[in-house]
Amino acid sequence: MSAEREKAQAGAAVAEDRTGAVPQSIPALMAWALWLELDAAERYRELADAMEMHNNREVGALFRKMETIEGKHAESIMHSMEWTSPPPRPRGEAPWPGFEAPENVAHEDVHYLMQPWHALTLALKGEERAVRFFTALANESTVPAVQAAAREMAAEEQEHVDLVRAWLARVPPPDERWRDDPDPPRYLD
């Protein structure tokens, strides 16, 4: 990652990307990082199931692919920490703001007629939030090892950002009538 981009990221990471106590050790940081990935993988699995059930197979397949990516990231964290099973979710306030981990796509943001462009846009936002979160964590930490690990995590999330951006560039944006359903569940007039 270029120094310029790193600087831009650091600048983008502001107080709203972080909350709570800064993890003070590598195991503490990596436990949160693991749960961030596990939560994201679970959410993508739920979204993939929902889309497949509603016959939106293209978006379902895309969410399934994202589930795999997040799952692999979780596995790599487990491997690097030599954990054979996930440690319990750390107690106390999560180090990220809001109810959910930064990478999670909110359930209420999806639509049964959404197209790959929408799904990738949501995924991109999640990955960008994760970059800002780890960057902010690195900036706030006073423990050199935690700083370095958080920067490494931010760099890995940045790779995901680049991947999703490249993906998005190949997908046509939806036309304005993408929500039109000839037999909607709810008639408004």
In the complex, which residues of this chain contact other proteins (CB under 8 A)? 39, 42, 46-47, 49-54, 56, 86, 88-89, 94, 99-100, 106-112, 114, 185-189
- Is the Cβ–Cβ distance between 47 and 110 less than 8 Å? yes
Of 82 and 187, which has the nearer Cβ to other proteins?
187
Rounded CA gap, 46 and 166, in Å? 24
Of 6 and 52, which has the nearer Cβ to other proteins?
52
Of 59 and 161, which has the nearer Cβ to other proteins?
59
Residue 79 Cβ vs other proteins, minimum distance, rounded to whole Å: 18
Of 4 and 82, which has the nearer Cβ to other proteins?
82
Residue 2 Cβ vs other proteins, minimum distance, rounded to whole Å: 36
- Is the Cβ–Cβ distance between 17 and 136 less than 8 Å? yes
Residue 187 Cβ vs other proteins, minimum distance, rounded to whole Å: 6
Of 86 and 174, which has the nearer Cβ to other proteins?
86
- Is the Cβ–Cβ distance between 87 and 80 less than 8 Å? no
Of 65 and 163, which has the nearer Cβ to other proteins?
65
- Is the Cβ–Cβ distance between 17 and 132 less than 8 Å? yes
Residue 10 Cβ vs other proteins, minimum distance, rounded to whole Å: 28
Residue 110 Cβ vs other proteins, minimum distance, rounded to whole Å: 5
Residue 94 Cβ vs other proteins, minimum distance, rounded to whole Å: 8
Q: Is the dihedral of CA 111, 68, 46, 94 positive or negative?
A: negative
